[in-house]
Structure 1
Amino acid sequence: MHSLWRRLPAEQRRRGAAGLTAWLAPKATHHPMPDAEDGLIIAGEIGRESGLGEGARIMLRACGALGIPASGLQAGLLEGSERPGRTLEDSTAPLILHVNAPTLPAVLLRLGKRFLRQRRIIGYWAWELPVVPPIWRAAAACVHEVWTPSAFSARALEDIAAGRVRVVPHALAAAPVRPSHLDRAAFGLPEDAVVVLVSFSLASSFERKNPLAAIHAFRAAFGNRADRFLLLKISHGGHYPEDMGRLREAIAGVSNIRIEERLFPTADSHALTRCADIVLSLHRSEGFGLVPAEAMQLGRTVVATDWSATAEFLDGECGLPVPYRLVPARDPRGVFEAKGAVWAEADLGGAVQALQRAAGDEALRRQLGEKAAAVVRERFSGEELVAAHWALMRRGLSQRNVA
């Protein structure tokens, strides 16, 4: 049986596993809704360098700064799940799972029915297309609510969890990470060049992150100028040798572009971003856009595709949005595809103009960076997280009073 299973295409295996675990996983009981004890259990890939892991860590830090009692719980497929401690088992605090829908049922099975009994389950999900694929639907029955970091994601998720979706952006400004003291020399960056940073994980889809467009735009804008430098900060490249081969071929023989594959602690990653003058993201779609948002928080000039979730916080007053056209979403890995879904193709000429404008005007970069940091302080203060927590507690109190 195992041999036959391995012969199936990867997408069929993925859908089959998701469907089976969704059928086996415990379902959310809405009538009556479980009580909600004060505080939150934040679960996910807390120890892993990934967007989901970072989202869970941001929420944990924000809860501490905002006075919301919270505990962290390792829960994921790649790193496994902790056995919940007795304190967590005995509480009825809501569980916020930073695990995307296709794998959430499997994580629930690992956590066990005893831990989940009489507990409110909330999926913290982000999706990068306007249409949610069928593989996500079954998991909606396993959660009481869905929280999501952007209105863009919320519109798509409403299709599978109507009336149960709440926008709770990443509370970046509630407990900001202080960059370490590492400087350009520590990262091997030239002191006398305008540095452009492209940062992404290959686990998040080569096609969606669209790094080849960033390379083409940089080369068209600056050629081999020694005073212009592009750093490609790439995570998890070792798992995707074909993608890395495409990137190395695209920069072969180019002296002012370099790849950086080392994984850094969060404070050092922020220091690297602070060392850059411009952060470039010619993504095809984002469910939130942590890299652009964190760059804005650090006062960097961000050049990004003017579509999907990043368009909700980046405009011409705080960054340089790049025009685009919508095209059918096509992902060779089959993950970011859904019937009728589209995503953006950034305009290369617009990206070149934005890069040249930002690189040639230090005063403009300073102006945009100051405005960008102010936008992050205002938009991602954690106000929505406080409101979401209070709504959970209020409903719990209401139910106890009725009883």
Structure 2
Amino acid sequence: MTVDGVNIIGPVFGELGLGEDVRTLAEALVSSGVPTTIFNYPKRLTTRQGDRSCEQYVSDSLKYSCNIFCFPAFELMHFFLEFGPEPFEGRYNIGYWPWELSLWPKDFSFIQDLVDEIWASSAFTLNCFQNSFSKPVFHIPLIIKEPLQFEALPTSIEALEADSFKFLFVFDANSTLIRKNPKGLLRAFASAFGRSQETCLILKTMNYRHHDEELSEMIAAAPNVIFINESFSKAQINLLFKLSDAYVSLHRSEGFGRTMAEAMLLGKSVVTSDYSGNVDYCNENTSFLVEGKLVDVAPYAYPFWRDAKWFDPSHASAVSALKTCSEHPGLRQEKIEAAYKFVSEQFSTATVAEKALSRIAAL
């Protein structure tokens, strides 16, 4: 079929990674001359919806002959139930779905019947989708833009003014604490630095409503850990990155890991699990890798846990990586420079737009 333009369907105003996926893709297509409109969905989000940078592209109608669905695959069922088959009929439908596990649940493979092809943001998700679906799957990375806007934080954080080495971890509690693994990070940080005020850890989260008693006690017992449970604008998050010295993620699994790539473009060294979507850009040259092993996802620990595995970061390896990062500025700088070069080249608007356009042109 001949594509006359693209409808991107996703949470365009959302101040979260999914919203950034929608906005950067729209900007890439528009800058490449592709007629583009955005249909805001899902509208019911617990995160703030204050990013209006792409509002000029938003429409209540699907104007063009190609749909790209930029939200979780299971939300596509809700979309179909809400709007029926009409949005899909006579259009080429692409699922650009985030996914964090190496295994897709067999009972839900029927979701692919709603789309004509699937885009995967990393080699990790590409492998999962290719092993799970009969529809064609293509690797279209996420776009990572160098942050240029900075905004004062809503509250004063005294630790950010202190002369200490600052590690930062940013996560959404809605993405589950067990997958993001802040407790594993706190244990490793405590073993590496004890209660020393020369090094601090900033845990920036949001949507932390169902309090984890053990996590709260670990934070309260650590004088060098700052816990922030508040929604920040993108520009405020950028400033938090800028004021930190290094970024750390001891995740069990990530589909892509946008925050790590953004940290690299802000010139911050990254300590990270050597597993899942982030290994597309996290390697020995660009980051401080934490070793570990694959383990079964515990029953009911995560949606669709049956038969799934994920990463268990080694405590000893994490402690070593944190210490090495903080104690060796020369090595840190080497990795920072290599990471910036790689991410700025491989995940730029121009590079990803070329990949996306090649698929659209082939339709």
TM-score normalised over the length of structure 1: 0.81
The equivalent residue for 1:219 is 190
- 2:228 maps to 260
Unaligned runs of 5+ in 1: 1-34, 396-403
Distance 1:289 1:108 in 2: 28
Q: Residue type of the partner of 1:61?
A: E
Mapped to 1, the partners of 2:6 and 2:238 lie a distance apart of: 27
| Residue 5 (structure 2) pairs with residue 39 (structure 1) | yes
Corresponding letter in the other structure for 2:39: L
CA RMSD of aligned residues (A): 2.4
Is the aligned partner of 1:199 residue 2:166? no
Give the C-alpha shift of residue 77 in structure 1. 6.1
- Name the structure 1 match of 2:50: none
Which digits, 9 at most, give the CA deviation of each residue in 1:12-36, with x for residues without a partner?
xxxxxxxxxxxxxxxxxxxxxxx34
Q: Distance in 2 between matches of 1:197 and 1:100?
A: 27
Distance 1:200 1:345, change over 3 A: same
1:299 maps to 267
Post-superposition Cα deviations, 1:33-55, rounded to whole Å, max 9, x if no partner, equal xx342332221122223332222
Taking structure 1 as reference, are residues 297 and 111 closer, same or farther at Cα in structure 2, changes over 3 Å only?
Answer: farther
For 1:355 and 1:208, the matched residues in 2 are separated by 20
Report deviation, 1:256: 0.7
Selected match of 1:177 from 128, 134, 147: 147
In the TM superposition, residue 85 of structure 1 has moved relative to its aligned partner by 4.5
CA 1:387 to 1:253, structure 2 compared with 1: closer, same or farther past 3 Å? Answer: closer
Shift of 1:322: 0.6
Residues 19-30 of structure 1: pairs in structure 2 closer than 5 A: none
CA contact under 8 A between 2:5 and 2:35: conserved in structure 1?
yes
- Secondary structure, in 3 states, of the residue corresponding to 1:232? strand
Q: 1:345 aligns with which of 312, 315, 318?
A: 312
1:101 is aligned to 2:67? no
Cα distance change, pair 85–218 in 1 and its aligned pair in 2 (3 A): closer
Deviation at 1:331, TM superposition (A): 5.8
- Structure with max Cα Rg: 1
Look up the match of 1:118: 90
Partner of 1:209: 180
Query: Aligned partners of 1:104, 1:246: CA distance in 2, in Å?
Result: 35
Structure 1 stretch displaced more, 273-282 or 378-387: 378-387
Answer yes or no: is 1:282 the counterpart of 2:250: yes
**Structure 2 residue 348 is matched with structure 1 residue 381:** yes
Q: Which residue pairs with 1:21 in the alignment? A: none
- Kindly state the Cα deviation for residue 129 of structure 1 after the two structures are TM-superposed: 1.7
Instruction: State the distance in 2 between where 1:278 and 1:331 align.
Output: 34
The worse-fitting range, judged by mean Cα deviation, of 384-393 and 246-255 is: 384-393
1:387 deviates by 2.8
Shift in Å at residue 66 of structure 1? Answer: 4.0
Note the alpha carbon deviations across 1:67-109, whole angstroms, 9 max, x for none. Answer: 43322211116349xxx947x44x3331111121222121133
Q: Is the 8 A contact 1:327 1:345 kept in 2?
A: yes
Confirm or deny: 8 A CA contact 2:39 2:59 kept in the other structure. no
3-state secondary structure, aligned to 1:60: helix
In the alignment, which residue of structure 2 is the partner of 1:75?
41
Could you say which residue in structure 2 is the equivalent of 1:269? 237
Cα shift at 1:362:
2.5
State the Cα deviation string for residues 162-219 of structure 1 (Å, max 9, x = none). Answer: 351111111114xx43130548995431330100011111111211111101001111
